[in-house]
Amino acid sequence: MEKPHPHIEVTGAFQTRALLPSIPELEPIAYFDQEHGKYDETGEVAAELRVKLHEIDLTRLFGLLREHSVSVVRHWLQVDYKNRFWMKPPEDCIGAVLRPDGYVGLPPDAPRLRILSMSEPFYIQGRPEGEPRGHRPDLMSAGGIPIVSDCLLSTLRGLGVGGQTQEIIYRGANKAASNTIQPGFQRLLIDPQFSLTGDARVRFLPEPTPDGLGICCVLNPNSSREQYEIAVPTSKRSAVLTPHMNLGIEPIFRSTGLMNEWFERLNLGVKQCRTNNGQNKSR
């Protein structure tokens, strides 16, 4: 099994303890970065191998790495879900996470790595900005809880979404308007909430979940900061996205199915390559 869906492209980056040996079989689908260690602050990494995982069977890939005594220190994935993926999602894709179409700054003293409680006032440093600039955003990620426009909130309420809301307070360069309510936007923490598993770009919903996946908030796995995101089931994806065309989406998969099988095989292969001690740390 090369990959679980024809319209997913995955690049795996494998950081290694020593300079990479020549592996002719991988050269057509891989980039050997022998200079990567110069930029690694930990001193643990000498090189990085980037492989188009959608073009090789994982058993073949990790067999080659073990054969050449490649010792993997850490790895990460870059995943590209093509537009055609959503024309016919696989059976194990049960929904999607909404990706923000805007941003807003927080005051310099605001914590960045944890969720800011809804029981305390929530301040923003500037006005909400759309991405690309010029449009009014519907969804922003700041302070650990989604910030939604009144328009997106109305759409979600119309679909039966409950949960807590909180006003946000502008505190910025416009001193006359400082410490006033920012109109048009609120924080929204939807009930229920779930913690996803997997990777930041390959997300799985633990099973069983009551009544399947509804519109809810989810915690993204392996993120550098705590952040709830809004998730929608496949059945309601169009109802949310049609009036909010600038929002991006990324899939959520069941914890059983082809994608989970592929992901577990990937992690198993990496684990086996972590035990490859045949390389020296010399550069």
Paired strand residues for 28: none
CA distance 234 to 66: 40
What's the pTM?
0.87
Asked if the structure places residue 1 within a domain, the reply is no
Predicted local distance difference test score (pLDDT) of residue 279: 43
Nearest one of 245, 246, 243, 239 to 95, comparing CA atoms: 239
Q: Which helix (H) or strand (E) holds 237?
A: helix 237-241
Q: Are residues 99 and 235 in the same domain?
A: yes
Q: How far apart, in whole angstroms, are the C-alpha atoms of residue 234 and residue 98?
A: 12
Cα 266 to Cα 214: distance, rounded to the nearest angstrom? 29
Are 249 and 151 in a shared domain? yes
Q: Are residues 237 and 269 in the same domain?
A: no
282 domain residue, yes or no: no
Could you identify the residue written with the tokens 């955003």? 137
Q: Which residues of the chain have pLDDT under 50?
A: 278-283
Residues 36 and 107 in one domain: no
Let me know whether 205 and 151 are in one domain.
Answer: yes
- Give the number of C-alpha atoms closer than 13 A to the C-alpha of residue 109, restricted to the C-beta side: 3
145 lies in a domain?
A: yes
Residues 46 and 132 placed together within one structural domain of the fold: no
Whether residue 280 lies inside any domain: the answer is no
Predicted pLDDT at 39 = 87
Say whether both 114 and 168 belong to one domain: yes
* pLDDT tens per residue, range 106-144: 998 888 778 999 999 999 998 999 987 778 999 999 999
Residues 242 and 151 in one domain: yes
- Is 36 contained in some domain? yes
Domain that includes residue 173, residue range = 93-254
Residues 75 and 163 in one domain: no
- pLDDT at residue 10, rounded to an integer: 94
> 249 and 262 share a domain?
no
Query: In total, how many domains does the chain have?
Result: 2
Both 111 and 174 in a single domain?
yes
- Rounded Cα gap, residues 141 and 21, in angstroms: 42
Look at residue 266 and tell me if it is in a domain. yes
Tell me: do 69 and 117 sit in the same domain.
no
